[in-house]
Chains A and B, each alone.
Chain A
């Protein structure tokens, strides 16, 4: 069967494809808001109880290094104050979550849309030992990397190969995938 298309029909098809492409592309870029740190050079510090240090410093450090080696971000570990991102490992009890990112903006807002849409001042990536003590090192790295992704403005998505997948504890993805990397690089 031959299909006859005139110029108007072709233009209509192209216009529809542009609309679908624009909206799909927008949906693919997953951010908490329009906010971000004002630099890609970010200092981070590990906080944790003594017993946590030995078993968490390695996966948390690996998670931060992975972002540095695969994106334009430059994470540097420091020991003092004046950090931009804290990786804070503690037992928060049976909360239902393994990790949680807490972003505060320079306007004083924390952990809400006002904070996520302004210049970031600092971010704390909480990791809950109540659940994570039972995790392998690579799953700990996955959660730490996921929370660090939130700290640089990334939101959840439903792609199981992404480090920003909503249920990261179930997949244990440790490497930012191409979508994660391009989202970060587009913003930093």
Chain B
């Protein structure tokens, strides 16, 4: 290719690429279908920035594999609506779980614990049920199995009670287990992990715990 030709082509290529970027962004902004497949991503501002297994291990009070036994009726908080103050509801749900495996922390296999999530099933005025839940941390299904990185909030002035109460560090502290595989929804596409083997996750957790213990020993 001659020099002039290649310069011209480089300019053309750059212009084409830039135009495509703009067209792609505008098209997405204005031409999305009614049911946007890109929708449904996270929109809570999480305090914990832990994303890797090592970060999660450093932050969690307990790391366990559990099975969800059941859920209590959601605890409701009132919130306003434009139709008049204090006519809406906001929910928190506590799930009872049985500990199947302990990787770290004071819980033991066979223990039962309560894990709190933001969200819950709300009764509508028409007698139906409307589920409020966070896209990145949907309510646990009863009977499901999970690997959880838990923070002890038993002393929390709003949610605490006589027994122990936990929540996950953030959505990255939750792995759904199904058929020996684990998957994670955390933070939408920012950190979505492909399904992987439960054994591989457990090995990574154990390695992170050993590394943390070695750091603490210094």
Contacts and interface: CB of A to CB of B under 8 A. Distances in A.
Interface of A: 2-5, 10, 13-14, 17-29, 31-34, 47, 81-84, 86, 88, 90-102, 104, 110-113, 116-118, 121-122, 124, 126, 130-131, 143, 146-147, 150, 155-158, 166-170, 182-183, 186-187
Contact of A155 (B6, B82, B133, B188): B188
Contacts of A24: 20-21, 24
Nearest to B170: A96
Contacts of A32: 39-41, 43
Interface in B142-169: 151, 153, 156-159, 167-169
Given A25-B25, A117-B32, 18 more contacts: A2-B1, A14-B16, A21-B23, A25-B28, A29-B26, A29-B28, A33-B38, A33-B39, A84-B82, A93-B153, A95-B116, A96-B46, A112-B131, A112-B133, A112-B135, A113-B35, A166-B187, A169-B46
Contact of B25 (A26, A34, A84, A150): A26
B214 interface: no
24 contacts: A14-B16, A17-B17, A18-B16, A25-B20, A25-B26, A26-B27, A27-B24, A34-B33, A91-B158, A93-B153, A95-B92, A95-B159, A96-B118, A97-B46, A99-B45, A101-B43, A111-B133, A116-B39, A117-B32, A117-B39, A131-B47, A146-B45, A166-B46, A183-B29
Nearest to B153: A94
A26 B27 CA distance: 7
B45 A147 contact: yes
B19 A21 contact: yes
B98 to A, nearest CB: 23
Contact of A94 (B16, B26, B90, B158): B158
A99 B134 CA distance: 12
B51 to A, nearest CB: 9
Contacts of B18: 21
A93 B156 contact: yes
A29 B30 CA distance: 10
A104 B87 CA distance: 14
A187 B29 CA distance: 6
Interface residues of B, number: 69
Contacts of B24: 21-29
A83 B116 CA distance: 31
Contacts, number: 215
Contacts of A83: 82
A29 B45 contact: no
Interface stretch (B73-81, B102-110, B196-204): B73-81
B72 interface: no
Given A21-B20, A93-B159, A94-B156, A4 B39 contact: no
Contacts of A82: 82
Given A29-B25, A156-B42, A20 B9 contact: no
B25 A113 contact: no
Contact of B46 (A22, A25, A167, A182): A167
B42 A166 contact: yes
Contacts of A28: 21, 24-25
Contacts of B116: 95
A143 B133 CA distance: 20
Contact of A166 (B38, B88, B190): B190
B44 interface: yes
Interface in B62-86: 77, 79-85
Contacts of A126: 79, 90
Nearest to A5: B1
Contacts of B82: 81-84, 86, 121-122
